Chains A and B, each alone.
Chain A
Amino acid sequence: MTYVSTTPANNGVNTEALIGARGAFAETPVAAQFTFKSTCDWIEGTYNRNSISGYFGLGQEHERKRTFSIESDHPEVFAAADRAPTPTEIVLAALASCLTGGVAAVAQHRGIQLHSVRATVEGDIDVQGILGMDPEIRNGFSAIRVSFEIDADASDEDIRALVAQSQKRSAVFDIVTNPTNVAVTVA
């Protein structure tokens, strides 16, 4: 570290609790098995709504204090009513959120005080893929770019290291950069 800190950094991340959890999971790894869930109901057209409440972890089901809602739709150029972001934008948002949360956590752990963090994400899609026009064009993003603007009490090099470590430990970064088996069934 090349900076000098006089007061402890406070980014609002309880790293001590997280480090404590690491110790607990090392002793009972089964408690580290989490299952996250979302339930999506079709509303109309491409408009639908996810409800997110319960999850499984620490060996049991958990119910949140409130149910979160994420809606999705398509813009008017796709002949939809544009009532909510597209699923692809939600994926970009999830990536940005995961990396940004990771930057805060890593900064806290490294004693770096953050003042502002902004991630801007862009994803390129050739929609000929999803329209079935060309089998050589993939449905998903051909490229994703994330750009961070970070104001922190740290050197440029340390900030770059923060962002690098955040990617290294990001669930969503892993999800979008590596294949995952997906099972889709009809009940």
Chain B
Amino acid sequence: MRRIHTVIIGAGQAGLAMSYCLQQRAVPHVLLERGKVANSWATERWDSLRLLTPNWQSRLPGCTYAGSDPDGFMDMAGIVGFLDGYAAAISAPVEPQTSVTSVSSLGDGYRVTTDKGIWACRNLVLASGACNRAHVPSCAAALPGHIDQLSPLDYRNPSQLRAGSVLVVGASATGVQLAAEVRAAGHEVTLAAGQHIRMPRHYCGRDIQWWMEQSGLLATTTGEIDDLARARAVPSLQLVGDPDAQFLDLNALQRSGVEVVGRLAGIRDGEALFSGGLANAAMLSDLKMNRTLATFDIWADEAEIDSLAPPERFPATEVPASPTLRLDLMRKQISTVIWATGFRPDFSWLHLPVFDRKGRLVHSDGLVAPGLYVLGLPFLRTRKSSLIDGVGADAAALADHLVQFTGRQVA
């Protein structure tokens, strides 16, 4: 059994940012990585995916984007290269190809069992990601066996799909991007849209991420939020990392020939049943977008930002007058269902009493238990905690806490 002061599980942006912060504080540590650096980006994302945040926003502690296209959006090779470069630049002590199989208590610290041996540590940082598992609703079990089911973790590109129509369930960034791509490949596509958030790529001449950052929206802390559980479950914005795609919303999808229906309510007797509340989901989304844009207008006015185009509002979301409520899977020749219904972290190897009754990791601003920290989850400490640009400040704060409570000595 090897002993070390601190173990970080995962060598993506969160683990690497923590490694940098611990090095700065002279804390001995190791990163255990099941694959290689940026493994999820490299192996669990679809081919066409680009970051939803512009390159200038790819900032990690001690590192800013230095390329020639600050307003561009990294593809997966780009983000893997970016994180590889960061890991090399900070000489992160990564143990690659090392899968954690179990974590349990050990004295004042933790025992981390891997397929390459056991580590004992005083502190443990969970940086294994927020999107390890695709969440699939239980009604998936009622789908006829002849229909292929794909999660975004399985989907790579439309060439995987058999001929036939495709039902995409979920209208956050993942769902709208996959629906658009599958439609462009020639499939009939039905998109089941529940609660979703519409947002333009650019507003008044600036990227929406510029607005969210500059207006202070991204810096919102957990203490400023009334209902944290809800804030942590907010779906991703309907965006795509493409400066030419101003909207990838229900209007754009319908123009491209995607049929939009309400939230999938169930599957029964070979039929998919959809909520009759699509119009309200679209209305809520428009109201939410316009409220956000109004806060931007107020901020820009008060901050006296020059060189901005005047405030603008966008046409409302149009939904069919009578959206389809029942879809006969056989008659519609649905060959594939894509579940874009959210992601969950995987802490199945974490054998500690740190979960709520629904199996969610309980933490307070990233502090799970004495010596046990987590990074990279939605709204962990701030609204940008799950962004590359947000994990650095979280890592620094948790590193400060770690040093304050356990010092720098080897356990």
Complex interface: stretch among B97-105, B270-278, B370-378: B270-278
Distance of A180 Cα from B275 Cα, bound (Å)? 7
Q: Are A181 and B233 in contact (CB under 8 A)?
A: no
Q: Are B230 and A132 in contact (CB under 8 A)?
A: yes
Distance of A176 Cα from B276 Cα, bound (Å)? 12
Q: Are A179 and B326 in contact (CB under 8 A)?
A: yes
B81 at the interface (CB under 8 A from A): no
- Residues in A with CB closer than 8 Å to B276 are 179-182
Distance of A181 Cα from B280 Cα, bound (Å)? 10
- Residues in A with CB closer than 8 Å to B279 are 181-184
A178 at the interface (CB under 8 A from B): yes
Q: In angstroms, how far is the closest chain A Cβ from the Cβ of B320?
A: 9
Distance of A136 Cα from B274 Cα, bound (Å)? 16
Give the interface of B toward A (CB within 8 A). Answer: 227, 229-230, 233, 262, 265, 273-280, 322-323, 325-326, 358
Secondary structure at chain A's binding surface: helix, strand, loop or mixed? Answer: loop
Residue of A132, A136, A178, A182 touching B326 (CB-CB under 8 A): A178
Given the interface pairs A132-B227, A132-B230, A135-B233, the reply to whether A181 lies near B323 with Cβ below 8 Å is: yes
Given the interface pairs A132-B227, A132-B230, A135-B230, the reply to whether A181 lies near B322 with Cβ below 8 Å is: yes
Q: In angstroms, how far is the closest chain A Cβ from the Cβ of B137?
A: 9
Q: Are B273 and A179 in contact (CB under 8 A)?
A: yes
The size class of the interface chain A forms with chain B is 10 to 19
Q: In angstroms, how far is the closest chain B Cβ from the Cβ of A187?
A: 15
Q: Are A179 and B227 in contact (CB under 8 A)?
A: no
Q: In angstroms, how far is the closest chain B Cβ from the Cβ of A103?
A: 24
- Residues in B with CB closer than 8 Å to A180 are 276, 325
Q: Are B275 and A179 in contact (CB under 8 A)?
A: yes
- Residues in A with CB closer than 8 Å to B273 are 178-179
Closest chain A residue to B279, Cβ basis: A183
Q: Are A179 and B262 in contact (CB under 8 A)?
A: yes
Distance of A114 Cα from B273 Cα, bound (Å)? 37
With A181-B323, A182-B276 given, name 17 new contacts (CB 8 A).
A132-B230, A133-B229, A134-B229, A134-B358, A135-B230, A135-B233, A136-B358, A178-B325, A179-B273, A179-B274, A179-B326, A181-B276, A181-B322, A181-B325, A182-B280, A184-B279, A184-B280
Q: Are A179 and B325 in contact (CB under 8 A)?
A: yes
Distance of A135 Cα from B235 Cα, bound (Å)? 12
